[in-house]
Structure 1
């Protein structure tokens, strides 16, 4: 899909599918088809990078200049059309007149920014301000994801850490581990987004100085400080994820130990009666108890008494 926006009264307005892209200030390519990439190449003279090109990890493939245009790629969290969450590359192309973005998944800022571009800190009077406003929206989205992760960890901690007369069931502990793992995946995607966006913005700051666009330098520094603060918050939440994982695994071990202890105690309780039964079950010829009238009841009483005494001893020692 191809979305093109032009500037009308300092606000972004969606252009029609047949509009001339040379009138656009922002061209957003989402899972571009060959004919859409060809249209961009024909009207704007930009060779749209393929998904394979965007996924290259070399810096020379993610941050470079070509024919007077700046190509910058960041890895951002988003979702596929089927709803699957993932981190994917997004390429920002800055030409002397406009911003072009290429993506193959749907980060939420690209769906919300067009309606609020004029309310961003930088506004959208130029394509450079539009780019910084979009980056600001991305950083805000990453901060929202961190806030949601913090709330999810609070809920998990309240359930796992809280003392209760009813211990968590194995199914509840398993679900808690899955929930913690999901939050860990979210943090990993946010961390990757922050690192790649920060690198992209630092390079943009250097290229901006060459263009003499020093009026936006303060906005770049502010965004860099925001991302550095979020990186510290990611480290804090990562520590919480590790603690929650260790605690939940400890609860699982305690639950397993409790089950093993119960089985062990039951086995020990039946050990003395089993020993007595085994002794009197031997087929020796000279066993005086075989001829006693009360021999069988005596053996039963001995087995019950040995089990009761074992139970009383365990209870006295606090093992039950």
Structure 2
């Protein structure tokens, strides 16, 4: 799908059979077909990167200049609310005063920017300026996701530690379920850190372009975006450290529970060992045994087994092992 955003704030959906609006300053290609790509290439006289080329991880293949055209690729977080967040490679092409974006995912930052596009003043409705504003929205959205993740981790930490401190009864696999939640947060934060690293490289490259040097407002905005990315990267590292701590603590609690269960079985085996020994001795089938014809032998053996079991049990209680 091709959507053209015009300098007057209007929006037009374009098909290969339609003429391009002359005032288009931003062309957004969402999951374009090859026919749509060729249509835009003919209009702008520029060869757009393909989907496979967007996935290239080499910096020289993601950030480069060809003639008067600038090509940039950034990895953005998509489906952050789902169980499987993704990194979507989005292409940005500056062709004169026109910005072209090529994406095969729907990051929420684009929807937020589209909703606010008509509010941009006229001086910001130019290719490079639009890209700077779009990057600002992307970074703001990334900050929201990171902040929500940090809040969710605080709640998760309270569930792991707080409920257990209050001795709230939980299912036996409660901690195992929380480990899955921790793994999900770790996956998301890893994607966010990759996204921030990709954005940092792109913003640095973008800000160094000669075109931006003649646009002081855009250059200052990019400086602000770069500082935001740096602070978010530091915060993401802090959140990742908290996830590591929470993971280690949860595994430690699971080990403590398992050790408690093993301790119970160990104490039970020790408690029942003396009665078993007594029963084994008096269960032997020798013909000549001193207590074989003792009339009170049966109740005495039972009493001996009970006493031999109580002695280690009381000893464990006295030691605080139970």
Matched, 1:277 2:279: yes
Tell me how far apart the structure 2 counterparts of residues 122 and 230 of structure 1 sit (CA, whole Å): 30
Cα 1:128–1:210 change in 2 (3 A) is closer
Give yes or no for contact 2:72–2:202 (8 Å, CA) kept in 1: yes
Q: Aligned to 2:173, what secondary structure does the other structure show?
A: helix
Question: SS where residue 313 of structure 2 aligns?
Answer: helix
> Paired residues, what number?
317
Q: 1:217 aligns with which of 216, 219, 231?
A: 219
Residue in structure 2 matched with residue 143 of structure 1 by the alignment:
143
Matched, 1:39 2:39: yes
Q: 1:288 aligns with which of 278, 284, 290?
A: 290
Structure 1: gaps spanning 5 or more residues: none
Give the TM-score normalised by structure 2. 0.91
CA distance in 1, matches of 2:122, 2:145: 23
1:27 aligned residue: 27
1:282 is displaced (CA, Å) by 2.2
Quickly say closer, same or farther: Cα 1:159–1:84, change in 2 above 3 A. closer
Residue aligning to 1:78: 78
Number of the residue aligned with 1:203 = 205
Give the CA deviation at 1:28: 1.1
Q: Which residue of 2 aligns with 1:298?
A: 300
Structure 2 CA distance for partners of 1:119 and 1:136, relative to 1, 3 Å: farther
CA contact 2:44–2:95 (8 Å) conserved in 1: no
Instruction: Kindly provide the CA deviation profile for residues 61-100 of structure 1, in whole angstroms up to 9, marking residues without a partner as x.
Output: 10111242100011110139x9952012111101112000
* d(CA) in 1 for partners of 2:239, 2:153: 9
Which position in structure 2 is the counterpart of 1:48? 48
Q: Which moved more, 1:208-217 or 1:90-99?
A: 208-217
The separation in 1 between residues aligned to 2:83 and 2:302, in whole angstroms, is 67
Alignment pair present for 1:166 and 2:153: no
1:310 aligns with 2:312: yes
Partner SS state of residue 231, structure 2: helix
1:263 partnered with 2:265 = yes
Q: Which moved more, 1:162-171 or 1:181-190?
A: 162-171
Task: Provide the rounded CA distance (Å) in 2 between the counterparts of 1:54 and 1:60.
Answer: 12
Secondary structure, aligned partner of 2:100: strand
Structure 1 residue 14 corresponds to structure 2 residue 12: yes
Per the normalisation by structure 1, the TM-score is 0.92
- Calculate the aligned-residue CA RMSD, in Å: 2.2
Mapped to 2, the partners of 1:22 and 1:92 lie a distance apart of 20
Query: What is the CA–CA distance in structure 2 between the aligned matches of 1:279 and 1:316, rounded to whole Å?
Result: 29
Deviation at 1:199, TM superposition (A): 0.5
Structure 2 residues without counterparts, runs of 5 or longer: none
Higher alpha-carbon deviation: 207-216 or 58-67? 207-216
